[in-house]
Homo-oligomer: A and B are copies of this chain.
């Protein structure tokens, strides 16, 4: 019952096999290898457009590098006030951007609405008191497991563009969101106004594979220097290239993300059915956020279930916590089994039933 993150497991068998196969023989270094080159081609087919792709080693690096490409050191980058980039990357975006301001906006479930964006822009004081607004970084899905529809993306990015902002999408769980929407990769990105994407492979089923993908090619100018300068240019880059190639081949990414999403849905419906439990936000990707009494959380931890407690600041007002309630975050992966899910749900169900009986 390890639900603390989708990064506690290794790679899928197919991805691992690709690493093993790519180990043979000599090849050009720093990206001049066949796997990296084929991956770039595969990504162009995947997104159905010309693009510039830069393979990197962590999601933090992908986000921070992408942020630095849309916001200069003297600018402001907007994001959700509880986004991963502002709250969980130890200041990497600020470092890579060179000291820019990263400013958080409110929004239920981690989603920024066009009205929230407009309100922030309208409140800017003018003059030189604040670094000028340069970009907006959103997550698909969000830190609370929600997914922007393509309509929402289009409206938001139109509005952002109107304010002179470039759009970054943190796609650490891109595949999970894509499976949910069922649209094309193009529709979820450049056709919806995304300029640069952090494409995550690690949580999807790789050991380590992340990419910065530019749809606005002008933003990629000099980016190869910026990647090298940040220590993200692998000498034996075949290691990443091979993983992405395996992920894209035969829609392997979809197979993996569909499974983890399905496991999350099973977990969500199981927990929702337990009297006394409810979900903080809808289950839209491979994450479930049950609201539970502290006593249940303690009980589950005591029984060895692994998961995190989570912030309640982005709950909808009508979902506010009451009494001793807390929010939990459960994440499923491509390796999560229905049995693990059922075991967890049963633990919760039994505890809540016993508690009710004791109270009667």
A286 within 8 Å of B by Cβ? no
A61 within 8 Å of B by Cβ? yes
Complex contact A234–B222 (CB within 8 A): no
A318 within 8 Å of B by Cβ? no
A184 within 8 Å of B by Cβ? no
Known: A26-B2, A99-B97, A128-B224. A229 touches B9 (CB 8 A): no
A38 within 8 Å of B by Cβ? no
A95's partner among B60, B73, B132 (CB-CB below 8 A) is: B73
Copies of this chain assembled into the complex: 4
Known: A58-B231, A96-B231, A226-B74. A90 touches B128 (CB 8 A): yes
CB-CB contacts below 8 Å: A1-25 with B: 2, 4-5, 7-11, 16, 19-20, 22-25
CB distance from A234 to the nearest CB of B (A): 6
Complex contact B236–A207 (CB within 8 A): yes
A57 within 8 Å of B by Cβ? yes
Complex contact A26–B8 (CB within 8 A): yes
Given the complex of chains A and B, what is the CA–CA distance between A335 and B235 in angstroms? 16
CB-CB contacts below 8 Å: A225-262 with B: 225-236, 238-239
Among the stretches A27-35, A174-182, A345-353, the one at the interface with B is A27-35
A208 within 8 Å of B by Cβ? yes
* Chain B proximity mask over A152-195: 1 for CB below 8 Å, otherwise 0: 00000000000000000000000000000000000000000000
A357 within 8 Å of B by Cβ? no
Known: A74-B90, A225-B90. A236 touches B7 (CB 8 A): yes
Complex contact B96–A98 (CB within 8 A): no
Complex contact B225–A92 (CB within 8 A): no
What residues of B have a CB within 8 angstroms of the CB of A27 in the complex?
Answer: 8
A207's partner among B23, B131, B232 (CB-CB below 8 A) is: B23
A23's partner among B16, B24, B73, B232 (CB-CB below 8 A) is: B16
A94 within 8 Å of B by Cβ? yes
What residues of B have a CB within 8 angstroms of the CB of A207 in the complex?
Answer: 19, 23, 236, 238-239
A60's partner among B62, B97, B102, B228 (CB-CB below 8 A) is: B228
Complex contact A228–B24 (CB within 8 A): no
A130 within 8 Å of B by Cβ? yes
What residues of B have a CB within 8 angstroms of the CB of A231 in the complex?
Answer: 56-58, 60-62, 64-65, 89, 92, 96, 230-232
Known: A10-B22, A129-B87. A208 touches B236 (CB 8 A): yes
A25's partner among B10, B92, B96, B229 (CB-CB below 8 A) is: B10
Across the A-B interface, give the 10 residue pairs with the lowest CB-CB distance, nearest first.
A61-B231, A10-B23, A7-B235, A90-B228, A128-B228, A98-B98, A57-B57, A91-B131, A60-B231, A90-B229
Given contacts A8-B29, A95-B229, A208-B235, 19 further A-B contacts (CB under 8 A): A7-B29, A8-B26, A10-B236, A11-B23, A57-B58, A58-B232, A60-B228, A60-B231, A60-B233, A73-B95, A75-B222, A89-B129, A89-B231, A90-B130, A91-B131, A94-B99, A202-B235, A230-B231, A231-B231
Could you list some 21 contacts between A and B, CB below 8 A? A2-B26, A7-B29, A8-B27, A16-B19, A19-B207, A58-B235, A61-B231, A64-B231, A72-B222, A73-B98, A89-B231, A90-B128, A90-B228, A94-B94, A95-B99, A95-B230, A97-B99, A98-B99, A128-B228, A208-B235, A230-B231
